[in-house]
């Protein structure tokens, strides 16, 4: 009995095992097929996720933030003027902005080629040294960004319209228009063809008081110079004064409020200097590569006179007088942004050729806006030559913190007595403005006469007379 039961149990277990194996073998292909279908999707998700993450990391790491340049110790801030805008492509070392300080303009070049993706400060804002200015996406080539395309005027040509469908062509066409009117500009937008000033009202009659005539204020587009001409339009334009102009105004007013300024005059017979230039100009140019001008004789004569009159080279500092044992002469140079005064160092040891070469170098740097702050710092005496503009006479203002300034003027023919006889001679008027708190009238007149003598006859300098 027990033997038969054991055989029955064994048969049951064997049959159950065979059924389980059959079921497992039938399920395995189905699971494998489903796994094979899902594997490409899982792999694709892995690839896309990795690729997207990798690309975003590259974009974030590629955008660089460009800092502003360092300023000299005497400069704390400046006004920025953007030369490029967001979306513009720039090459390496291409100018992106200029920072206008009290003394000079500092350039902001691109550190490498790329596209500007963000400006971190507004145009005209004050910036400090090494402040973060803009963000750059490095890369070669590339044109305007899509944002630039969106900013085009509405009058830009639109793409050609698609061909009409049969239902559209069967409808009657509208009557043709002889001359369609141009699209109107948006509010506040100035068409490119329009002049930068508003249309003036009708000309007032001569009996109308000037103060009663209405004046229109005009908003001038960026980049337009409102000061180049006066058209007679009854309008006015306000523009922000640059930092250099404001600094000049402040320094001149400070000089007027601080110094006891007095001016003395004299005149120079330029015959000898003009004759010397005519005689030796070719040899001078051949040897030194620069022309002998009018400035070098005056600069050298001023250095000679300053050595003979040290008080004119000195400065009053509260309760002390500071005497300088060197002669650094500031030379006024006119630029479109204002007057700058680069400095010639140790003029007492320079000759005409050295002075002319240094003046030429500083003049080029001034015209190109390349003067550094170090080129204009210091100075113990200033020379201003208004004669290049045809000035006949004038009283210059002292350049703080110096104590005197020499004003040169134009050369004009005048009748003067020579050995008891009237002769026509080329005469230049010169003026010396000085700080009367420090320099007495006798010293000022003596100093100016030494300049006159050294220009008219340079031999007195060589003989130390």
Question: So which residues are the catalytic ones?
Answer: 436, 440
Characterize 419-429 residue by residue with b for buried, 16 or more Cβ atoms within 10 angstroms of its Cβ, and e for exposed. Answer: eeeeeebbbbb
124 DSSP 8-state letter: T
Q: Is the CA virtual torsion 385, 386, 390, 391 positive or negative? A: negative
How far apart are alpha carbons 343 and 333 in whole angstroms?
11
CB count within 10 Å of CB 353 equals 15
Given a contact cutoff of 8 angstroms between Cβ atoms, the answer to whether 116 and 135 are in contact is yes
Given a contact cutoff of 8 angstroms between Cβ atoms, the answer to whether 261 and 436 are in contact is yes
Q: Is 107 helix (H, G, I), strand (E, B) or coil?
A: strand
How far apart are alpha carbons 269 and 273 in whole angstroms?
9
How far apart are alpha carbons 300 and 281 in whole angstroms?
18
Structure tokens that stand for 342 in this block: 């680069």
How far apart are alpha carbons 329 and 359 in whole angstroms?
11
How far apart are alpha carbons 168 and 165 in whole angstroms?
5
CB count within 10 Å of CB 145 equals 17
Phi, psi of 66 (to 5 degrees): -95, 125
Nearest to 127 by CA among 96, 173, 87: 96
How far apart are alpha carbons 403 and 121 in whole angstroms?
41
How far apart are alpha carbons 428 and 437 in whole angstroms?
28
């Amino acid at each position: 009995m027990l033997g038969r039961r054991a055989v029955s149990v064994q048969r049951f277990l064997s049959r159950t095992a065979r059924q389980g194996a059959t079921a497992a073998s039938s399920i395995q292909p189905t699971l494998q097929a489903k796994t094979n279908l899902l594997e490409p999707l899982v792999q694709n998700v892995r690839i896309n996720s990795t690729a997207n993450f990798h690309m975003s990391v590259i974009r974030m790491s590629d955008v660089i933030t460009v800092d502003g340049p360092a300023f000299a110790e005497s400069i704390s801030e400046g006004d920025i003027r953007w030369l490029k805008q967001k979306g513009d492509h720039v090459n390496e070392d291409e100018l992106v902005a200029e920072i206008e300080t009290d003394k000079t303009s500092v350039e902001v070049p691109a550190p490498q080629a790329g596209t500007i993706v963000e400006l971190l400060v507004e145009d005209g804002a004050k910036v400090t040294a090494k402040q973060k200015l803009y963000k750059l996406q490095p890369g070669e080539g590339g044109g305007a960004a899509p944002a630039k395309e969106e900013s085009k005027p509405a009058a830009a040509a639109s793409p050609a319209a698609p061909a009409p469908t049969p239902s559209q062509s069967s409808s009657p066409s509208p009557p043709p228009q002889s001359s369609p009117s141009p699209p109107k500009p948006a509010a506040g937008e100035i068409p490119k063809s329009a002049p930068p000033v508003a249309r003036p009202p009708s000309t007032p009659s001569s009996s109308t008081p000037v103060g009663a005539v209405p004046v229109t204020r005009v908003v001038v587009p960026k980049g337009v110079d409102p000061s180049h001409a006066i058209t007679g339009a009854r309008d006015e334009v306000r523009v922000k004064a640059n930092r250099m102009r404001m600094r000049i105004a402040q320094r001149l007013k400070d000089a007027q409020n601080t110094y006891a300024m007095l001016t003395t005059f004299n005149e120079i017979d330029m015959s000898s200097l003009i004759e010397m230039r005519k005689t030796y100009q070719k040899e001078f140019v051949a040897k030194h590569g620069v022309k002998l001008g009018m400035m070098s004789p005056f600069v050298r004569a001023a250095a000679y006179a300053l050595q003979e009159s040290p008080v004119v080279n000195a400065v009053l500092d509260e309760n002390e007088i500071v005497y300088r044992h060197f002669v650094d002469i500031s030379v006024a140079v006119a630029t479109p942004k204002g007057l700058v005064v680069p400095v010639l160092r140790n003029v007492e040891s320079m000759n005409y050729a050295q002075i002319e070469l240094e003046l030429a170098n500083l003049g080029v740097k001034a015209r190109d806006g390349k003067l550094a702050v170090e080129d204009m710092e210091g100075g113990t005496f200033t020379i201003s030559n208004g004669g290049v503009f045809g000035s006949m006479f004038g009283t210059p203002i002292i350049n703080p913190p110096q104590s005197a300034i020499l004003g040169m003027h134009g050369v004009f023919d005048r009748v003067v007595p020579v050995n008891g006889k009237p002769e026509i001679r080329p005469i230049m008027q010169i003026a010396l403005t000085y700080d009367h708190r420090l320099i007495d009238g006798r010293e000022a007149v003596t100093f100016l006469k030494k300049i006159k003598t050294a220009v008219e006859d340079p031999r007195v300098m060589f003989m130390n007379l």
